[in-house]
Structure 1
């Protein structure tokens, strides 16, 4: 595993800047002089209070609409501000101990990208993939023009863009649509970037396929763990913890090669509070996220139970990418309780950094009850999840354990050493085995 040392301790708070500051969608686009990127600075203390140690940003570079149709990779989107605003955000983040991850879109560009405009007007077409006489597009989106990843100039350009912003203070890159880019492209780009920035971290957006082969052949440090994301919410909704157990077995295999980026929400999917049919089970999903191996990420708003459904239509992402005005604005008691749960479980995670590479082993699995031990060396935690209407009794001796200390749980007294447990209906418990 090639993670820089700091990644073991990072927990990302992910922000989609254009939506977060109300720059997109907007009837009238903000002007650079509004310096909207600085609004994120107003939330950094909130992120620290939550327990985050990193700020994962969505696209911040000049684009026409949603940020993934880039016009200029060297310019901060004028709807957000300018270079000075970026520098201010980096400085304020680092002063609070927050790492900063940028979102790099190098599979495709927008139709206003200068080299594309020149190509359309009869100039050099070599920067772009083609299908016959037509320019290739990303997944059929006419506004997203696919780059030619075998072109040496495109490789050089990507190396230079990534290095430029790392030199300006970024700590790493999320590489958008990495699954659509040939691994050989990244294998030529990343070693050159690492040469100048050896402590940078690179995570590829990969939705499905052979994660291990992707990491091996591309040189990524990590990829997005969509398999586990899907198993978490669907196993809870379907009362089928066998699915989650299967996914965690796969997850162990990934951890033998790399540490995945784990999440239960991001800017591209329906929010977890809307995805789960029972709101009481959001904590169950969070428990899995924070007690299994991986580099966890919390999508801004999920920590206060924001709701939002992604739809497959134009503008279908808008509901999961809202504007944020002030902390806890419009958040009810459930939201405040969810924030406290995040604080508690994130605190538990950060007190046990060994969880970064921990493996899980099932101790008991039924459709509605799941007990697993997560372990790294001599360190271990036991997690019990119950989505049934009845209590879930678990005699620790029957699970091959002795006594255990309850360190967290719903309806369970903390710091109590017990020989067995009863997980309440729709509840959960985390124990430290003795």
Structure 2
């Protein structure tokens, strides 16, 4: 496992900047003179108070619409501002001890990307940047405005290397590689060693939805990939009353941890928010407890800490509901939002007090469809976690006496030989 040392303490707060600052969608897009990126900077105190150690940014580079149709990887999107705004964000993050992760869209580009325009005008060298022929270049997943790059062209690998190194030079700490599953691993073996030669402490995570995660990591040279399998196992098992699915996903997850530490999440800018995804609102707490007590690099999508709702739809504009504009901090939130924020703070604090959870494995001690007791452990460190998605109390014996650390209505600090978890509730226990 070759990830940078600092990643074992990483907990990301993820932001989709163009939506967050009201730049997209917008009937009247802002110009660079409005310096909208500084609205994200204004929220860094919030990220720090939450307990995050870094901010994971969505696309910030020049594009025509949603940020994934990049036109210039070396330019901050004018709707967000300019280089000075980015430099200020990095400086302000540093002053708070926060890292910065960038979103690298290198599988495809927008129609206004200079090489694409040149290719359409007959430039043969530019044509080789893309697959197919002018007017019929390959697109990304059928989106005609996203033109797929030709990753067999050494000029493309050189360009990606230059972009990644440029922004790491400017203060970024790592990259999320968008749609990494669509790029042959060979390009990354040409790019990442050169990037790491200049920035050995950079963290590189590939967006991968399905497939052989360990093999992808090994072939491409990533530090991590996005753990969509576990995300699906969490919400699906809670909705279906089938913790056997969750346990299967955790067994797979343990296997991944043998070779790399995945980026874990229960929400991001591409999926329905967890508070909308789960049929029972009480189960949002159970999902968060899972995220914070299993191995991985946890990521909190901005708004989930307030129990925001939002449904992703498969249509034009279908992402807008999960990518809302945020006002200036602090946001006025209801009691549910306040309680969810407090729970995030507590569980992030618990994870920080137990840094070994970064690579912790899980072991099922009691399992049925709606009740689950598992042990998370690393070396001689351990915690017990009880989840009850059923309508009746869940009482189960522990393998050894333990101290109750948390759980709604729990007798905290009490030493017990068995634990009772209320309906749709949870408990976390530590060493006696």
CA RMSD of aligned residues (A): 1.0
Q: 306-315 or 416-425: which moved more? A: 416-425
Provide the rounded CA distance (Å) in 1 between the counterparts of 2:325 and 2:228: 25
1:415, distance to aligned residue in structure 2 (A) = 1.4
Residue of structure 1 equivalent to 2:160: 158
1:326, distance to aligned residue in structure 2 (A) = 3.0
Residue of structure 2 equivalent to 1:292: 294
Q: TM-score, normalised by structure 2?
A: 0.98
Q: 40-49 or 98-107: which moved more? A: 40-49
Residue of structure 2 equivalent to 1:407: 405
Provide the rounded CA distance (Å) in 1 between the counterparts of 2:60 and 2:328: 21
Q: Deviations over 1:223-269 (max 9, x none)?
A: 00000000000100111000000000000000001000000000000
Q: TM-score, normalised by structure 1?
A: 0.98
1:414, distance to aligned residue in structure 2 (A) = 1.4
Q: Deviations over 1:195-233 (max 9, x none)?
A: 000000000000001101100000000000000000000
Provide the rounded CA distance (Å) in 2 between the counterparts of 1:333 and 1:237: 24
Aligned partner of residue 403 in structure 1, secondary structure = strand
Residue of structure 2 equivalent to 1:203: 205
8 Å contact from structure 1 (residues 304, 328) kept in 2: no
8 Å contact from structure 1 (residues 215, 222) kept in 2: yes
Residue of structure 1 equivalent to 2:136: 134
Residue of structure 1 equivalent to 2:365: 363
Aligned partner of residue 236 in structure 2, secondary structure = helix
Residue of structure 2 equivalent to 1:145: 147
8 Å contact from structure 1 (residues 411, 427) kept in 2: no
1:40, distance to aligned residue in structure 2 (A) = 0.9
Provide the rounded CA distance (Å) in 2 between the counterparts of 1:213 and 1:201: 18
Aligned partner of residue 415 in structure 1, secondary structure = coil
Q: Deviations over 1:271-295 (max 9, x none)?
A: 0000001111101000000000000
Count of aligned pairs between the two proteins: 430
Aligned partner of residue 385 in structure 2, secondary structure = strand
Unaligned runs of 5+ in 2: none
Residue of structure 2 equivalent to 1:255: 257
Residue of structure 1 equivalent to 2:121: 121
> What is the 5 A alignment of 1:12-411?
12-124=12-124, 125-130=127-132, 134-327=136-329, 329-396=331-398, 401-411=399-409
Provide the rounded CA distance (Å) in 1 between the counterparts of 2:256 and 2:101: 22
8 Å contact from structure 2 (residues 119, 134) kept in 1: no
Provide the rounded CA distance (Å) in 2 between the counterparts of 1:274 and 1:326: 24
Large movers: runs of 4+ above 6 Å? none
Provide the rounded CA distance (Å) in 2 between the counterparts of 1:191 and 1:128: 24
Provide the rounded CA distance (Å) in 2 between the counterparts of 1:413 and 1:63: 53
Q: Deviations over 1:147-199 (max 9, x none)?
A: 00010000000000000000000000000000000000111100000000000
Q: 130-139 or 71-80: which moved more? A: 130-139
